[in-house]
Amino acid sequence: MRKKIVAGNWKMNKDYKEGMSLFSEVVNMVKDELIGNQQVVVCAPYIHLHSLVALGKGTRQVSVGAQNAHQEESGAFTGEISVGMLKSVGVEYVILGHSERRQYFGETNELLAKKTDIALKHSLKPIFCIGETLAERESGKHFDIIKSQLAEATFHLSAEDFAKLVIAYEPVWAIGTGVTASSNQAQEVHAFIRKEIAIQYHQAVADETTILYGGSCNPKNASELFAQPDIDGGLIGGASLKSRDFVDIAKVFNS
Ligand code: PEP
């Protein structure tokens, strides 16, 4: 059975005090209200992570993630954070390849292949993001784009390593826009991603890969999206900043 995951991406929001209080609310609601095996992952700014790991200790269904990491082990990279540092404070997941990192920080598939390698080397679980822009979808190139993002950044991995990834399909045109992909559009791409994984590796690897949908997901549209056969949860931006909304999204997997 594939793991169901609802991951929140706080981006550059919430100061330290606000972050602690939001996370505490999430942990309490998860303890009281989640009855399935779904995993909730909170990907917060770096300065919050150590404290969030401590606050989440003992709550099996809650994990902490970072939103990025550097591709080198250590060294003269002023302002950067290594995967070893993240591991040393108990972080379990790391978002890699978010479209905002690709767009504003010039992250390429080649660079992301290195980040994926080092994350796996340190047993940090990547939530690896792929997705097309509006122009790419409108010109019918979305399947090619998604295929090359996957192939260039992750298909060099052994099947054993690939199986440690969580994939997030996030159409760029749906991120932070309030425009959600329809459940049919999202399912079509998720099925395509799973097929590509089966072709590259094995059907068994594809069947076990958790593929999240991200892009204006909220408590109203989550049920329909997560009911699709190839959608195993969500990567949630805006709605993860409200504890009630975020946990309501995770509660879709209660039933
Ligand atoms: C995201 O940033 O990964 C995201 C899905 O954002 P939002 O839910 O706000 O569209």
- The confidence score (pLDDT) of residue 27 equals 98
The pocket around ligand 1, CB under 6 angstroms, is made up of 9, 170, 175-176, 214-217, 235-239
Compute CA distances 89 → 6, 57, 109, 233, whole Å: 22, 12, 28, 26
Structure tokens that stand for 24 in this block: 């505490």
What separation in Å is there between the alpha carbon of 216 and the centre of ligand 1? 6
Average pLDDT, the chain: 97
Compute CA distances 207 → 27, 59, 192, 195, whole Å: 30, 27, 12, 9
Q: Does the pLDDT value for residue 30 go beyond 80?
A: yes
Write the pLDDT tens digit of every residue in 160-181: 999 999 999 999 999 999 889 9
Ligand 1, atom 6, lies closest to the CA of 237
Name residues whose C-beta falls within 8 Å of residue 125's C-beta, 6 or more positions apart in sequence.
65, 92, 93, 94, 119, 164, 165, 166
Ligand 1, atom 7, lies closest to the CA of 237
What are the structural domains of the chain?
5-254 (3.20.20.70)
Write the pLDDT tens digit of every residue in 208-233: 999 999 999 999 999 999 999 999 99
Write the pLDDT tens digit of every residue in 38-96: 999 999 999 999 999 999 999 999 999 999 999 999 999 999 999 999 999 999 999 99
Dist. CA 14–CA 113, nearest whole Å: 30
Structure tokens that stand for 206 in this block: 């594809």
Q: Does the pLDDT value for residue 255 go beyond 80?
A: no
- In this structure, the dihedral spanned by the alpha carbons of residues 222, 228, 233 and 238, taken in order and rounded to 10 degrees, is -30
What separation in Å is there between the alpha carbon of 254 and the centre of ligand 1? 22
What separation in Å is there between the alpha carbon of 212 and the centre of ligand 1? 12
Amino acid found at 71: Q
- The confidence score (pLDDT) of residue 21 equals 98
Q: What percentage of the chain carries pLDDT values higher than 90? A: 97
State the pLDDT confidence band at 1, using cuts at 50, 70 and 90. confident
Of 129, 130, 125, the closest CA to residue 143 belongs to 130
First vs last C-alpha separation in the chain: 15
